[in-house]
Amino acid sequence: MTGSAANPLSILIIGGGPDGWLTALAAHQAVAGLPGASVRIVHEEGPVCAPALSAPPDLRMLHGRLGLNDGDILARTGGAARLGRLFSGWRGDGQPDFIQPHGAIGANWGPLHFHQQVAAHGPGTDDYANYALAAQAIKQARFAPPSPNPRDFLSTLDFGFHLDCAAYTALLRDTARQRGIEACPGRVTAIETDETGLAGVTLDKSRYLKADLYIDATGPEMKLAAAINAACEDWSDDTPFLFEATRLETPRSPLTPATRIIADPAGWHMAIALPDATVTRRFTATADDGDTARLTPGRLRTPWSGNCLAIGGAACRPDPLADADLPLLARTLLRLPGLLPTGPDMRAEADVHNRAFTRESDAARDFSALVLGSQTRSEPVWRACRDAAPSDRLAHATALFKARGRLATREHDIYRPGDWVTAWLGLGVKPRRHDPLADRLDPAVASARLTQIRTLAEQTAAAMPDHQAALSRLKAGVPPA
Partner 1 sequence: MINPKTLDQVVIVGGGSAGWMTAAALSRLIGNGHTRITLIESEAIGIVGVGEATIPPIRHFNELLGLDERDFLRATQGTIKTAIEFVDWTRPGHTYLHPFGTYGADMNAVKFHQYWLKLRQLGQAEAFGEYNLCDVAARQNRFGPVARDRQSPVSSLHWAYHFDASLYARHLRRYAEQRGVQRIEGKVVDVHQRPEDGFIASVEMESGDRIGGDLFVDCSGFRGLLIEQTLKSGFEDWTHWLPCNRAIAVSSASAGELTPFTRSTARDAGWQWRIPLQHRIGSGFVYSADHLSEDEATSVMLDNLDGEPLNTPKPIRFTTGRRKQAWIKNCVAIGLASGFLEPLESTSIHITQAGISRLMALFPDKDFDPAGITEYNRQAEYLYRHIRDFIVLHYHANERHGVPLWDHCRNMAIPETLQRKLDLFRLKGRLFRYEDELFAESSWHAVLLGQNVMPDGYDPLVDAAPEDRIIDAFRQMHQAVAGAVASMPKHQTFIDQHCRAAMTAPPA
Which residues make up the interface to partner 1 (CB under 8 A)?
1-5, 9, 30-35, 37, 111, 337-340, 342, 348-349, 351-352, 356, 396, 399-400, 402-404, 406, 408-409, 411-412, 433, 435-437, 439-440
Specify the 3-state DSSP secondary structure of 16. Answer: coil
> Sign (positive/negative) of CA torsion 326, 166, 469, 69?
positive
Q: CB-wise, 76 or 402, nearer to partner 1?
A: 402
CB 7 to partner 1: min, Å:
8
CB 9 to partner 1: min, Å:
6
CB 19 to partner 1: min, Å:
22
CB 179 to partner 1: min, Å:
15
CA atoms of 287 and 290, how far apart (whole Å)? 7
One-letter amino acid of 441: L
Q: Which residues pair with 269 in a beta bridge?
A: 262, 282
Q: CB-wise, 275 or 405, nearer to partner 1?
A: 405
Specify the 3-state DSSP secondary structure of 6. Answer: coil
Q: CB-wise, 407 or 469, nearer to partner 1?
A: 407
CB 106 to partner 1: min, Å:
18
Q: CB-wise, 65 or 76, nearer to partner 1?
A: 65
CB 269 to partner 1: min, Å:
34
CB 173 to partner 1: min, Å:
25
Residue 242, CB half-sphere, CA atoms under 13 Å: how many? 14
| DSSP per position, 143-177 | --PPPS-TTSGGGG---EEEEEHHHHHHHHHHHHH
CA atoms of 481 and 478, how far apart (whole Å)? 8
Exposed e or buried b per residue across 116-136, where buried means at least 16 C-beta atoms within 10 angstroms of its C-beta: bbbbbbbeebbebbbbbbbbb
Measuring CA to CA, which residue among 248, 244, 242, 250 is closest to residue 289? Answer: 244
CB 472 to partner 1: min, Å:
36
Q: CB-wise, 5 or 478, nearer to partner 1?
A: 5
Q: What is the DSSP letter of 142?
A: B
CB 404 to partner 1: min, Å:
6
Angle of helix 114-121 versus helix 443-462 axis, rounded to 10: 110
CA atoms of 84 and 413, how far apart (whole Å)? 18
CA atoms of 439 and 121, how far apart (whole Å)? 9
One-letter amino acid of 462: A
Q: CB-wise, 403 or 463, nearer to partner 1?
A: 403
Q: CA-CA distances (angstroms) from residue 310 to 38, 39, 70, 306?
A: 19, 16, 27, 11
Q: Which residues pair with 39 in a beta bridge?
A: 11
Q: CB-wise, 403 or 462, nearer to partner 1?
A: 403
Q: CB-wise, 294 or 355, nearer to partner 1?
A: 355
Q: What are phi and psi of 279, to 5 degrees?
A: -100, 125
Q: CB-wise, 242 or 370, nearer to partner 1?
A: 370
Residue 97 sits at the vertex; the CA angle it makes with 57 and 239, to the nearest 5 degrees, is 70
CB 352 to partner 1: min, Å:
5
How many whole angstroms from its chain centre is CA 152? Answer: 27
Q: Which residues pair with 88 in a beta bridge?
A: 262
Contact 212, 9 (CB under 8 A): yes
Q: CB-wise, 7 or 452, nearer to partner 1?
A: 7
CA atoms of 133 and 405, how far apart (whole Å)? 22
CB 440 to partner 1: min, Å:
6
Q: CB-wise, 194 or 351, nearer to partner 1?
A: 351
